[in-house]
Amino acid sequence: MATDPTVSLKIRTSLGEYLKRDPAAILISQHLRDDLGLDSMAVIELLYRIEEAFDLQIPDQDLVGLTTVGHVVTYVEKRLGKAPSAAPTKKPAKPSKPKSKKKS
Amino acid sequence: MRSRVVVTGLGIVSPIGIGVGEFWKAALAGQSGISAITSFDPFPMDGYRSKVAGQVRDFAVERFLDNAYGDRVDRYAQFALVAAKEALADSGLQMAKENPHRVGVIVGAGMGGMVMGEREITQLYQHQKPHRVHPNFIPTITLNSASGIVAMAYGAKGPNLTISTACSSSAHALGQALHCIREGRADVVIVVGADASITPLVFAGFCSLRALSSKFNDQPDKASRPFDRLRDGFVMGEGAGALILESAAHAKKRKARVYAEVAGYAATSEAYHMVIPREDGLEVANTMKLALADAGLTPGQVDYINAHATSTSIGDAVEAKAIRQLFKSRADKIAISATKSLIGHTLGAAGAIGGIASVLALHTGQIHPTANYDDPDPACALAGLSRSAQERRVKVAMLNAFGFGSNNAAVVLKQATT
């Protein structure tokens, strides 16, 4: 999977901090619940961190598809307009925000 | 026949020590845990009338717990977890051998998760970004977060309750635990009192109430001085106390070391004023009387009182008056001490911490000093108060706790008989 290394690293670092694990040991293929042990509340907390890190707002309807680390990375890339061939499968919930200058 | 209830384990997080050994040694030495609040980052203390508090310094929950339960709760609930852990270890109770549905948790907390509470509220109002409110905000500030997390940490599936009656919260938690075990609804109850709200907004609120000491900002260890003529308000503290209560039969069966018996309890309301006690002391006296009756004891049998004694002008005088009314000539023979003189007023934790001091008085015959009782106020002089530690045989102890909202609690503890 062609993923942006910056986005991927940032997400895995977020996960690593949350789970108190080495980000390098977190794989893109891992399932958030089955492999990493995140319950539904933990997924919500993780996404909260990711919203902060990328200055995004993730609408409720987008949560359903985010079940693996890879899903989250692809989703964020898509939202940031970085994916090489991001064919959106659903209508964006809102117009994408201008990229923030805020340091995360 | 109703079950007798005993105390088999103690745990504490306090401004003068984390752990009962450290706390008690410091308490007997009259060591003060009151110090200057240097800052409420990001803003300074300049605007505050009072600038001192009983702070638990350098507390990092991961130093005390080998699990992640402390990570997602507020400071007060972290204190509760640490105190409960010590108390359980001290009691020798092994949850793996217990029927989890017979082990309850009752926590007293006055303010709850104010660290996160204040932060999130401030950020929301400043930045107006509702989607940036932390997802853990509600579970954290909900006042039963401590009773919930303690139960989760130890698999206690019995009654799980939070008592919030301001400054008397955990005295009522002790009393409710007594009822719970007496009535046969649990064999064991982990009782905790916890609060950690030395936070910019709560502290400002108590300042605005003119409830806090402000004359001793330059001498923090002198600020909390219950029953002394120069007292000018209470000093905020923070911490947690935990006591393992269990039925005497259950303790006997597992050959537990028994510290003391919880013999009686009374809860009343003065139905008078949100923050001012009735000056005649009648309701306080009545509360102590009812607790003694519940214990099947008389005023003449009381040897020690752990006074509520917050160091406010009116509160201490009313309590002293009530003690005189009820105990009459015996009032001067009873040893009395004010734990808040050492650590400040830990709000929801105060009843449990006073309870620990009472249990240790019964168990060791030592009574900790009342710091800064330098110039006895004639309005509340009692001969049993002392700036020094006292050694006495204590067979019966009374724990007083009174809270905003016009509520009173009294708990009677006594030496355990086998």
Cα B231 from Cα B313, distance rounded (Å): 7
Q: What is this model's ipTM?
A: 0.75
Query: B356 is written with which tokens?
Result: 């620990």
Of the candidates B238, B237, B187, B228, the residue with the CA atom closest to the CA atom of residue B316:
B228
* Residue contact B135–A48, C-beta within 8 A: yes
Cα B385 from Cα B390, distance rounded (Å): 9
Q: Write the CB contacts of B395 (distance below 8 Å, at least 6 apart in sequence).
A: B301, B303, B362, B414, B415
Cα B316 from Cα B380, distance rounded (Å): 7
CA atoms within 13 A on the CB side of B141: 13
Cα B184 from Cα B159, distance rounded (Å): 11
| Mean of all residue pLDDT scores within chain B | 97
Dihedral pair phi/psi, residue B126, rounded to 5°: -70, -50
Query: Cα dist. A4→A9, A62, A74, B221 in Å?
Result: 9, 20, 9, 58
Cα B275 from Cα B237, distance rounded (Å): 18
Mutate to test the interface with B, among A19, A41, A63 (most CBs of B within 10 A): A41
Cα B311 from Cα B338, distance rounded (Å): 9
CB contact at 8 A, B386 and B148? no
Cα A75 from Cα A50, distance rounded (Å): 11
Digit-coded pLDDT (tens) for B257-295: 999 999 999 999 999 999 999 999 999 999 999 999 999
Which are the catalytic amino acids of B? 167, 308, 345
Taken in order of first residue, the domains within chain B and their CATH numbers are 5-253 (3.40.47.10), 265-414 (3.40.47.10)
A45 close to B (CB below 8 A)? yes
B138 close to A (CB below 8 A)? no
Dihedral pair phi/psi, residue A41, rounded to 5°: -70, -40
Digit-coded pLDDT (tens) for B130-146: 999 999 999 999 999 99
Digit-coded pLDDT (tens) for B228-265: 999 999 999 999 999 999 999 999 999 999 999 999 99
The per-residue b/e assignment along B321-351, b for 16 or more CB within 10 angstroms, e otherwise, is bbbbbbbeebbeebbbbbbbbbbbbbbbbbb
pTM of the model: 0.92
Residue B136 has its nearest CB partner, among A45, A51, A57, at A45
- Does A95 score more than 80 pLDDT? no
Digit-coded pLDDT (tens) for B19-39: 999 999 999 999 999 999 987
Of the candidates B18, B25, B30, the residue with the CA atom closest to the CA atom of residue B339:
B30
Digit-coded pLDDT (tens) for A77-93: 999 987 554 444 444 44
Average pLDDT over residues B69-93: 97
CB contact at 8 A, B76 and B113? yes
Q: Which amino acid is at B363?
A: H
Catalytic, A35? Answer no
Taken in order of first residue, the domains within chain A and their CATH numbers are 5-80 (1.10.1200.10)
Residue of B nearest to A58 (CA): B131
Of the candidates B388, B341, B352, B350, the residue with the CA atom closest to the CA atom of residue B227:
B341
